Amino acid sequence: MMRCVRYIQQEDRLTVTAQGPQVAFFSNRTRRLGYVYPEGRVAQIRRLANTYEHTITLENFHEHAPALAHVEYIFSTWGMPELTARQIAELPDLKAVFYAAGTVKYFAGPFLECGVRVVSAWAANAVPVGEYTAAQIILAGKGYFAANRRMHRRESLRDLAITGNYGSRVALLGAGMVGREVIRRLHGYDIELLVFDPFLADADAHSLGVTKVTLEEAFDAAIVSNHLANVPETVGMITGKLLRRMPEGGTFINTGRGATVREDEMLDVLQERADLTALLDVTDPEPPVDDSPLYRLANVWLTPHIAGSLGNEVVRMADLMIEEFERELTGQPLRYEVKREHLATMA
């Protein structure tokens, strides 16, 4: 891999710093940039720093590179350009990228190689997913989805299996940022929380108030919610054999990634067992192909990947990055910096 060589002229740096930090907005999706950073948030950043007047894209980077030589911080979101180490070397004063979205895996490597810190708003993006998932879990425990299906089909409710939420067992696959948001929201309920996560230390499980289980044991729970990262090790991890373990009236929730599920096997199980319910916010591919049985199965509820930040929720990510920027300017440690070692397990 090419090493990034970045030359810094100390006298120029001192001159520019005296005028305030230099900031630029980078995004190949300029409309999305305005969606996440509305005018009020841009004004906040401008009060904190000198802001370059143009939005930088991969296409116009070469044109603006000479004017960006003293830029110290980049603000971005979905659509962050994937710069090479050679391009980053043209930004010798660059200190950090503040990314108002979740995963940085697709662009962060060259920046980290060049000694540029990368800060992600994954914690802010986890909040609406946690809210969405916790709401689905509570409704599933009350039998809402199965009962609604039967009501619409004018079917008998006499043998409907409803566990209720009191004393129920809910299993979460993954205790990362989203999984912990779900745990936090469910602690107010009388629910036994189980977690499958090979990276979760026993001490952390204890502090979270959850019980660690194997992947197989997780599918013995009445409700299973998937929050596994989409990495090569997790592709196809959720099999038909696991789904068949679920008790009568069980619910499988997926707000993680569709690739972690063997979809053909899941379809077989759902067609065999009408008592099971699948709440799928993600699929693979996404959306499902036009003739997918997922559209026809009565025990499948599909939503178009809406659990993450949408509408006003996206501004929370900008706010978190502005808070991190203020911490940077006042010499406080950053809370959501992504280290190189994080990339291996990041979705």
Write out pLDDT tens, residues 230-278: 888 999 999 999 999 999 999 999 999 999 999 999 999 999 999 999 9
Question: Does residue 59 carry a pLDDT above 70?
Answer: yes
Going along the chain from its start, the domains and CATH numbers come out as: 10-120+311-344 (3.40.50.720), 126-302 (3.40.50.720)
Please compute, for residue 124, the number of CA atoms within 13 A of its CA located in the half-sphere on the CB side: 26
> For position 154, what pLDDT does the model report?
80
Question: Does residue 346 carry a pLDDT above 90?
Answer: no
Question: Does residue 13 carry a pLDDT above 80?
Answer: no
Average confidence (pLDDT) over 87-96: 98
Measured CA to CA, the distance from residue 215 to residue 201 in angstroms comes to: 16
- By three-state DSSP, how is residue 138 classified? helix
Strands 73-76 and 22-25: parallel
pTM for this model (two decimals): 0.88
Place of tokens 């699929």: 283
* Structure tokens that stand for 196 in this block: 């499958």
Tell me what percent of the residues of the chain surpass a pLDDT of 90: 84
The 8-class DSSP code of residue 239 comes to -
- As a whole number, the mean pLDDT across the chain is 92
